[in-house]
Chain A
């Protein structure tokens, strides 16, 4: 392993001043690469490990700047000149076409950054962390897919007194998890489905490794706070049976601080198009507010000692005047 800040990570993007990913104002570091393939994933550009290119066809005016500028000759117009095609066998991912495209139809998803570069970005908001109790949240993709990088970033932040969190699915070997735990204040973990077969069907892997990891972290010596997140996907994991099973499972987690429901949304639809990936849930409607409230109430009936919240900056069909996202007053349980 390389040492300290020389380690490079595959970074999707860095977003600052988030209020949805842990306490306070936070800088969220999105990493690329994920072992899961949740069908509802709203960040398809985070799934593959390496930087990749997207193409927003409807923005393209067919000016041909990209075709002319490609040093590998990997780009060409389709026969009807309606779109630009990239020959992936030739493309060297120099992203010159992205830099040149006057319409911003060509997009670059992700780049390699060193720990030092990333930490420099994170520390820019130290004064905001100080006043808000915020910090850094490493998200993805799957941060544990790059355990050395993630752990180095967290360590560098922790040494600067910055509050740390990761958002993970915990589908990772224990030795990866062990690398980050010493530097971690809060761990957000998704529980997507309690049923093994359904999990495999919708997420692409089984769930026993995930559950084992949660239990192991809970029993470990590290005083990390665990927040369980449940993506609420209509018709897939929002049944009474599944939610009650999640509730039952959560009861056994001693370090659990909160459960957050993340209602399904469709903000990623465009990105699927740009990546020319088929989005199989494209006709799914986000759950109604009534449904979300009803599901939250159901969970809260599990007699857990922690609050159930609706989180994640929900943008679904909430009535204008009534309730917005993350209302702290909406602590249904506890």
Chain B
């Protein structure tokens, strides 16, 4: 990434740190799985949560502790820089299945050294065989759910192959009170218990487990302090020696005690971040509203002259590089659905405060600047933009970041985000404080528990089933409801009814499986994560057991939005409205993947398409997604009402492989459309039409977020006028009630070149439906999907023809 001249001095360090991360190959790291296993052998017979806590403490006490050169913010979950951690107790067998392929697999390979493989085979596998959550899940998955899963109709293994994630811990509380402050609260609560009262015994050992976790965190920090001292004692460079001694001092103070400075606050935060990740390898532990909870530290440091603005920026940049070190480990299939080692540590700026006032401050700008400086794939930077309250200067800064073409930020419409939280049952006062989670989901710091993306439903299959009486074209098996031969459909409404029945069928299968996952999840307590959820302490109940203040049903995610809408529109237009082809002809054409049926394919592709601001087709979007939201909301888990969302990550590609030709004109086995975006190459009226069409989906009801990708040519963002118009476009999007958009500003030629010469484009960032990854680390078909997305020509330079 070329850097401009006259960049600040601190960027020298940032470049060094960044290049080191980019030059490091992701590796499997089995050290903490080994320590956990040893600990579990020592604690047989004790309550599970205590055993988990003790294993965590042992990891903290024994793990390899390393401080890399040049670092200012330090700490790692594993023993390696870009480590994939295995949660043996959750899913040891995932690695077992992929021992031969993990180093070279297509999506997200992890290099497995023979030494690590030996540890796995000799120490980890023998102990955990038959004991993991993943095995529990596989043994209990309902039959119909399994059948849909195996036919690519739903994807639901995700939660069993990695940890919780998808949550925002109580960073603010930890930073301000320190581990010891929270320990006080735990002890106070524990003192209130009466062990003669039924239930209090369980509470007692639960709270004890929190105290064990606290000991672990404090000793881990102390070990880093010792390591810093050790390095300092041999360091020749006097400047670095000074830095190392500072690091030692900071690690002796936080996270044990309340942070006193901005830098201590950052270090405390990051210590906690590595702790929760160490406890459970999972995507989407979200630092959330850093510009808000770090503000008091920044303000007092600046006002007292303890720190200069540039130093703050350098520290933020250093932290940003740290966020890019860890790599999510997951099985090959899950990686296919979310490729790019997607850690999804979502940091958010902007929005409103707890009184609904403008919350933008200097740190909001500096956090955006950190992403502009570092340009790595993490943290996931999100913007909460309040149309009414946030200033234009902030919006402009956002557009400047967009123009770098890194895919950041994920731009969120604050009003809709607040509405989504309220629709989850959270009162407005607290909903004001929401933060984006992972991809585009919604969270609330230290108070909310749910899987935001439990399972994905393939909407392409729903159309296919409606046309095949519940049969999968690929497998030839009847796997869904039997809705009759479509040739018997007398009206378009008959077809709609059939598609809806399949959606109902898939939803029921997912809900049934959800209850199994919730049950398996009870055996997956997470004391380190729960430690900063106040109500977990108050109720002496783990996050996994519903201890958080708010609990809702898990997220059910829809994939193939445009494929569903366009297919329904095409059936209506071609078969029922204009009667240009009969249902039988259409079915034949689909069966042959349009080979020899080019005229019918043309009728299909020429039918009205979503993304063009055409009310005829957009009405279908409104109707179908109101139905889908109604349908999902009908069900509850033991934690609350189920929650819909539309965020494909990269799942639209593997789902596409399961779906034959569709009436939309899409050929068989091709990727489905991503998020709420139009299908690639089918939107012809420019970005305003896309936004108008997308606005027909009732975003506020899809409370786990809705994701819109738009690709823009650099021209829109490289001129003053373009930037101004981009700001107007974003404001218009908010007025329309669209929830989220992110822009991919990279031109197609560059992507094609990168695909051919990955070595030359190692640092090239691209946004894959919801997050940013290194383009060259993605699989070819995901790359092709990105390349094929429509360029928004309305903002290209060829609009004027004279």
Interface residues as binary, A251-288 with B (CB distance below 8 Å gives 1, 0 otherwise):
00000000000100001100000000000000000000
Interface residues as binary, A18-51 with B (CB distance below 8 Å gives 1, 0 otherwise):
1111001100101000000000011100000000
- Answer whether residue A147 sits at the interface, using C-beta atoms and an 8 A cutoff: no
| Contact B725 A19, beta carbon cutoff 8 Å | yes
Residue in A128, A231, A268 whose CB lies within 8 Å of B728: A128
Please, how many angstroms separate the alpha-carbon atoms of A84 and B785 in the complex?
A: 35
| Contact B606 A127, beta carbon cutoff 8 Å | no
Please, how many angstroms separate the alpha-carbon atoms of A229 and B800 in the complex?
A: 12
| Contact B686 A329, beta carbon cutoff 8 Å | no
The A-contacting residues of B in range 696-736, CB under 8 angstroms, are 714-716, 718-722, 724-725, 728-729, 731-732, 735-736
| Contact A325 B602, beta carbon cutoff 8 Å | no
Query: Which residues of B sit under 8 angstroms from A195, Cβ to Cβ?
Result: none
- Answer whether residue A190 sits at the interface, using C-beta atoms and an 8 A cutoff: yes
Please, how many angstroms separate the alpha-carbon atoms of A267 and B799 in the complex?
A: 11
Knowing A17-B795, A19-B722, A102-B599 touch, does A25 contact B729 (C-beta < 8 A)?
A: yes
Closest to A190 in B: B802
| Contact A18 B794, beta carbon cutoff 8 Å | yes
- Answer whether residue A52 sits at the interface, using C-beta atoms and an 8 A cutoff: no
| Contact A324 B718, beta carbon cutoff 8 Å | yes
Residue in B599, B601, B692, B797 whose CB lies within 8 Å of A313: B797
| Contact A99 B606, beta carbon cutoff 8 Å | yes
In angstroms, how far is the closest chain A Cβ from the Cβ of B246?
Answer: 40
In angstroms, how far is the closest chain B Cβ from the Cβ of A145?
Answer: 15
Interface residues as binary, A162-183 with B (CB distance below 8 Å gives 1, 0 otherwise):
0000010000000000000000
Residue in B613, B721, B797 whose CB lies within 8 Å of A315: B797
In angstroms, how far is the closest chain B Cβ from the Cβ of A47?
Answer: 12
Interface residues as binary, A312-334 with B (CB distance below 8 Å gives 1, 0 otherwise):
11110000000011111100000
Residue in B719, B728, B732, B801 whose CB lies within 8 Å of A43: B801
- Answer whether residue B333 sits at the interface, using C-beta atoms and an 8 A cutoff: no
Residue in A42, A124, A229, A328 whose CB lies within 8 Å of B801: A42
| Contact B599 A65, beta carbon cutoff 8 Å | yes
- Answer whether residue B689 sits at the interface, using C-beta atoms and an 8 A cutoff: yes
In angstroms, how far is the closest chain A Cβ from the Cβ of B545?
Answer: 46
Measured as residues with beta carbon below 8 angstroms from the partner, the interface class of chain B is 35 or more
| Contact B802 A128, beta carbon cutoff 8 Å | no
| Contact B715 A313, beta carbon cutoff 8 Å | yes
Closest to A124 in B: B613
Please, how many angstroms separate the alpha-carbon atoms of A138 and B778 in the complex?
A: 45
Please, how many angstroms separate the alpha-carbon atoms of A262 and B799 in the complex?
A: 13
| Contact A324 B799, beta carbon cutoff 8 Å | no
| Contact B801 A25, beta carbon cutoff 8 Å | no
| Contact B721 A19, beta carbon cutoff 8 Å | yes
- Answer whether residue A96 sits at the interface, using C-beta atoms and an 8 A cutoff: no
Please, how many angstroms separate the alpha-carbon atoms of A268 and B725 in the complex?
A: 26
| Contact A262 B800, beta carbon cutoff 8 Å | yes
| Contact A314 B797, beta carbon cutoff 8 Å | yes
| Contact A18 B800, beta carbon cutoff 8 Å | yes
Residue in A131, A312, A329 whose CB lies within 8 Å of B800: A312
Query: Which residues of B sit under 8 angstroms from A19, Cβ to Cβ?
Result: 716, 721-722, 725, 795, 799
Please, how many angstroms separate the alpha-carbon atoms of A314 and B692 in the complex?
A: 28
| Contact A100 B801, beta carbon cutoff 8 Å | no
| Contact B719 A328, beta carbon cutoff 8 Å | yes
- Answer whether residue A211 sits at the interface, using C-beta atoms and an 8 A cutoff: no
- Answer whether residue A225 sits at the interface, using C-beta atoms and an 8 A cutoff: no
| Contact A326 B689, beta carbon cutoff 8 Å | no
Closest to A21 in B: B800
- Answer whether residue A132 sits at the interface, using C-beta atoms and an 8 A cutoff: yes
| Contact A20 B800, beta carbon cutoff 8 Å | yes
| Contact A16 B686, beta carbon cutoff 8 Å | yes
Please, how many angstroms separate the alpha-carbon atoms of A65 and B720 in the complex?
A: 48
Please, how many angstroms separate the alpha-carbon atoms of A17 and B799 in the complex?
A: 9
Interface residues as binary, B161-197 with A (CB distance below 8 Å gives 1, 0 otherwise):
0000000000000000000000000000000000000
Please, how many angstroms separate the alpha-carbon atoms of A127 and B687 in the complex?
A: 13
- Answer whether residue B100 sits at the interface, using C-beta atoms and an 8 A cutoff: no
Residue in B598, B687, B720 whose CB lies within 8 Å of A102: B598
Knowing A102-B598, A102-B602, A128-B728 touch, does A16 contact B722 (C-beta < 8 A)?
A: no
Interface residues as binary, B95-119 with A (CB distance below 8 Å gives 1, 0 otherwise):
0000000000000000000000000
| Contact B602 A63, beta carbon cutoff 8 Å | no
Query: When A and B form their complex, what is the total count of cross-chain residue pairs whose Cβ atoms lie within 8 Å?
Result: 122
The B-contacting residues of A in range 115-137, CB under 8 angstroms, are 124-125, 127-128, 130-134
Closest to B598 in A: A102
Knowing A100-B602, A127-B735, A131-B732 touch, does A326 contact B795 (C-beta < 8 A)?
A: no
Residue in A24, A42, A327 whose CB lies within 8 Å of B725: A24
Query: Which residues of B sit under 8 angstroms from A267, Cβ to Cβ?
Result: 798, 801
- Answer whether residue A294 sits at the interface, using C-beta atoms and an 8 A cutoff: no
Query: Which residues of B sit under 8 angstroms from A101, Cβ to Cβ?
Result: 602
Most B CB within 10 A of own CB, among A17, A100, A315: A17
Please, how many angstroms separate the alpha-carbon atoms of A266 and B799 in the complex?
A: 13
- Answer whether residue A72 sits at the interface, using C-beta atoms and an 8 A cutoff: no
- Answer whether residue B796 sits at the interface, using C-beta atoms and an 8 A cutoff: yes
The B-contacting residues of A in range 69-128, CB under 8 angstroms, are 99-102, 124-125, 127-128
- Answer whether residue A248 sits at the interface, using C-beta atoms and an 8 A cutoff: no
Please, how many angstroms separate the alpha-carbon atoms of A329 and B795 in the complex?
A: 19
- Answer whether residue A15 sits at the interface, using C-beta atoms and an 8 A cutoff: yes
Please, how many angstroms separate the alpha-carbon atoms of A24 and B721 in the complex?
A: 8
Residue in A124, A167, A329 whose CB lies within 8 Å of B720: A329
Please, how many angstroms separate the alpha-carbon atoms of A102 and B603 in the complex?
A: 9
Closest to B690 in A: A17
- Answer whether residue B37 sits at the interface, using C-beta atoms and an 8 A cutoff: no
The B-contacting residues of A in range 220-249, CB under 8 angstroms, are 229, 231
Please, how many angstroms separate the alpha-carbon atoms of A20 and B725 in the complex?
A: 11
| Contact B718 A134, beta carbon cutoff 8 Å | no
| Contact A313 B796, beta carbon cutoff 8 Å | yes
| Contact B800 A327, beta carbon cutoff 8 Å | no
Please, how many angstroms separate the alpha-carbon atoms of A21 and B802 in the complex?
A: 11
Interface residues as binary, B474-514 with A (CB distance below 8 Å gives 1, 0 otherwise):
00000000000000000000000000000000000000000
Please, how many angstroms separate the alpha-carbon atoms of A17 and B684 in the complex?
A: 12
Residue in A16, A18, A42, A315 whose CB lies within 8 Å of B802: A42
Interface residues as binary, B311-351 with A (CB distance below 8 Å gives 1, 0 otherwise):
00000000000000000000000000000000000000000
Interface residues as binary, B774-802 with A (CB distance below 8 Å gives 1, 0 otherwise):
00000000000000000010111111111
Knowing A25-B729, A125-B688 touch, does A231 contact B802 (C-beta < 8 A)?
A: yes
In angstroms, how far is the closest chain B Cβ from the Cβ of A308?
Answer: 15
Query: Which residues of B sit under 8 angstroms from A128, Cβ to Cβ?
Result: 688, 728-729, 732
Query: Which residues of B sit under 8 angstroms from A132, Cβ to Cβ?
Result: 724-725, 728-729, 732
| Contact B688 A25, beta carbon cutoff 8 Å | yes
Please, how many angstroms separate the alpha-carbon atoms of A141 and B686 in the complex?
A: 22
Query: Which residues of B sit under 8 angstroms from A315, Cβ to Cβ?
Result: 797-798
Please, how many angstroms separate the alpha-carbon atoms of A20 and B732 in the complex?
A: 19
Query: Which residues of B sit under 8 angstroms from A125, Cβ to Cβ?
Result: 688, 692
Please, how many angstroms separate the alpha-carbon atoms of A329 and B716 in the complex?
A: 15
Most B CB within 10 A of own CB, among A100, A125, A262, A268: A125
Please, how many angstroms separate the alpha-carbon atoms of A325 and B722 in the complex?
A: 9
Closest to A104 in B: B602
Interface residues of A (CB under 8 A from B): 15-21, 24-25, 28, 30, 41-43, 63, 65, 99-102, 124-125, 127-128, 130-134, 167, 190, 229, 231, 262, 267-268, 311-315, 324-329
Other contacts beyond A25-B688, A313-B800: 9, CB < 8 A: A17-B688, A19-B725, A102-B602, A127-B735, A128-B728, A128-B729, A132-B732, A134-B725, A324-B714
* 28 A-B pairs in the complex with CB atoms less than 8 angstroms apart: A15-B799, A16-B685, A16-B794, A19-B716, A19-B725, A20-B799, A21-B800, A25-B728, A42-B802, A99-B606, A102-B602, A124-B692, A125-B692, A127-B735, A128-B688, A128-B729, A134-B725, A190-B802, A229-B802, A267-B801, A268-B801, A311-B800, A324-B714, A324-B715, A325-B719, A328-B720, A328-B721, A329-B720
**Nearest 7 A/B pairs, CB to CB:** A132-B728, A17-B794, A313-B797, A328-B720, A17-B686, A131-B731, A20-B800
